[in-house]
Copies of this chain bind each other. A is one copy, B any other.
Amino acid sequence: MASSTLSAPVMQKGIHGWNPCARISSNARVNSHRTLNCPLSMSTVRKPLFFRAHPASINPPHVSASQRYSLDTKKFPVSCAGKFQLDDVIESQQFDTDILNGIFEVAFEMEKIEKNSPGSNILKGYLMATLFYEPSTRTRLSFESAMKRLGGEVLTTENAREFSSAAKGETLEDTIRTVEGYSDIIILRHFEGGAAKRAASTATIPVINAGDGPGQHPTQALLDVYTIKREIGRLDGISLGLVGDLANGRTVRSLAYLIAKYKKVKIYFVAPDVVKMKDDIKDYLTSMGVEWEESSDLLEVASKCDVVYQTRIQKERFGERIDLYEAARGKYIVDKKVLDVLPKHAVIMHPLPRLDEITVDVDGDPRAAYFRQAKNGLYIRMALLKLLLLGW
């Protein structure tokens, strides 16, 4: 599907006029494929839902209660209140704060669905194709678990690059046209930047970008922001320390991009000289009114932050300069000393995999949020599958 950057998450009118529960019948493309009745209770208008604060979170005085959300899922268990604004999920630029908040509400509903037995069946009869041109087992399993937790089914290929057809010279577009005949949604991982956009503009079914080369990995960006929301209870007014490989890390760049959409955000960059944050993101933050500063004192930054986001120094970027890699790698380690100065309500995040940039003795601390963060990837992906296939 063609990706679109929406300026406001307004309810779109379907081809027969807007109908709150007709997100499928108003979605001509999905509709051409299969006709669904709303499997769930319905509400005629999508009400502003509220997001419940994380029980462990501390509510800093400068954040009023009304800035946070609490989710009334009894009234809207899984609502059927309209078509999702996006046809595909291709890049972080598609999301404004209203869509983000909506997705986060659905992700929060998904946490409950996932914890309860015997699982949901809202995607029963739907078939997801995970079309991976490079292996990424973590991302693949997360998407496949998401689909199965909602009762859907999965077709998997991890070696699409050696896909006989691709190897014989078939274009990505032709492959997409074939695979869309076998499935209802495509999760694409590709080695080339821009591949997901090309796939989406060909496909008549939704496409989710699960990472395309040096380009985008929007579900990772969403799960990072969702984790801050879940752990700290808010996104406005957040103080964020980004640590490690800021030059090459796709993750921290996307996170900085998305978090800048919220109010009164403060960002600290803590990176070895060889992998400092690049000017494009700094300029963007400035243009968005986000305060940022660079620091070489991890302990001081940690003492002031709601979130310390550690990243791995990527050895593969250093080529033969192993000496530079080794110097950069050991410079900023999150360990017990960091925990000692970290505020009680704050958390440590990491996109994983982690080597030794967070020491293992940190794992037991309740503020070590990185495995919860990985789990949040499941909820975000469940939410996106639900939204793209069923609508709000």
Contacts and interface: CB of A to CB of B under 8 A. Distances in A.
Contacts of A183: 141, 145
A64 interface: no
Interface string A102-145: 00000000000011111100001101010000011110111011
Interface in A151-186: 153, 155-160, 162-165, 168-170, 174-175, 177-179, 181-183
B118 A36 contact: yes
B174 A117 contact: no
A371 interface: yes
Interface stretch (A71-79, A192-200, A231-239, A348-356): A348-356
A375 interface: yes
Interface in A32-48: 33-37, 39
Contact of A141 (B136, B137, B182): B182
B182 A142 contact: yes
Interface string A300-312: 0000000000001
A164 B136 CA distance: 6
Nearest to A39: B118
Given A135-B159, A141-B155, A353-B169, A374 B178 contact: yes
Interface in A1-46: 33-37, 39
A149 interface: yes
A155 B128 CA distance: 13
A352 B124 CA distance: 31
Contacts of A34: 114-117
Contacts of A138: 163-165, 178
Contacts of A380: none
A222 interface: no
Contacts of A136: 164
A116 B353 contact: no
A16 to B, nearest CB: 18
A148 interface: yes
Nearest to A123: B118
Contacts of A162: 135
A181 B371 contact: yes
29 contacts: A34-B116, A35-B115, A35-B116, A35-B117, A36-B118, A117-B125, A127-B148, A135-B162, A137-B159, A137-B160, A137-B164, A137-B165, A138-B163, A141-B157, A141-B182, A144-B155, A144-B182, A145-B182, A158-B159, A165-B353, A169-B353, A169-B355, A170-B353, A174-B353, A177-B374, A178-B374, A181-B371, A181-B374, A182-B378
A-B interface, 8 closest residue pairs, ranked by CB to CB distance from nearest: A118-B125, A170-B353, A119-B125, A145-B182, A165-B353, A181-B375, A36-B117, A137-B163
